[in-house]
Amino acid sequence: MSQEPNQNPSDVELETDDTDLVPRRRFLTLAGAGLLTIGFGSLAEGLVGNLSEPFNQQIESLIFQPHQLVPEFSVNEIEPDKLIVNTFRFTPAISPVTYRLTIDGEVNNPLSLSMLDLQKLPLTSMVIRHVCVEGWAAIVQWGGVRLRDLLAIAKPSSQAKYVYFYSADGYYESWDIDSAMHPQTLMAYQKNGQPLEPSYGAPLRLASPVKLGYKLSKWVTRIQVTSELAEKRGYWEDLGYEWYAGI
| Residue 146 scores a pLDDT above 50 | yes
Q: Identify whether 16 is part of a domain.
A: no
Q: Give how many domains the chain has, as a whole number.
A: 1
User: What per-residue confidence (pLDDT) applies to 10?
Assistant: 39
| Residue 202 scores a pLDDT above 80 | yes
Domain that holds residue 39: 24-239
**pLDDT tens across 68-88, in order?**
999 999 999 999 999 999 777
Phi-psi region of 192 (alpha: psi -120 to 50; beta: other; left: phi over 0): left
For residues 201 and 167, what is the distance between their CA atoms, to the nearest angstrom? 9
Q: Identify whether 219 is part of a domain.
A: yes
User: What per-residue confidence (pLDDT) applies to 55?
Assistant: 60
Among residues 174, 176, 165, the alpha carbon closest in space to that of 60 is found at: 176
Region 187-215: mean pLDDT is 98
Region 199-217: mean pLDDT is 97
Q: Identify whether 73 is part of a domain.
A: yes
CATH no. for residue 183?
3.90.420.10
Q: Identify whether 97 is part of a domain.
A: yes
Note the helical H segments in the chain: 24-32, 42-49, 55-63, 115-120, 147-154, 177-180
Q: Identify whether 245 is part of a domain.
A: no
Q: Identify whether 190 is part of a domain.
A: yes
User: What per-residue confidence (pLDDT) applies to 37?
Assistant: 32
| Residue 43 scores a pLDDT above 80 | no
Region 88-112: mean pLDDT is 95
Q: What percent of the chain has pLDDT over 70?
A: 77
- Is the distance from CB of 52 to CB of 233 less than 8 angstroms? no
pTM of the model: 0.79
Q: Identify whether 13 is part of a domain.
A: no
Count other Cβ atoms within 10 Å, centred on residue 53: 13
Q: What is the DSSP string of 193-209?
A: TEEPPGGGTTT-EEE-S
User: What per-residue confidence (pLDDT) applies to 193?
Assistant: 97
Q: Identify whether 17 is part of a domain.
A: no
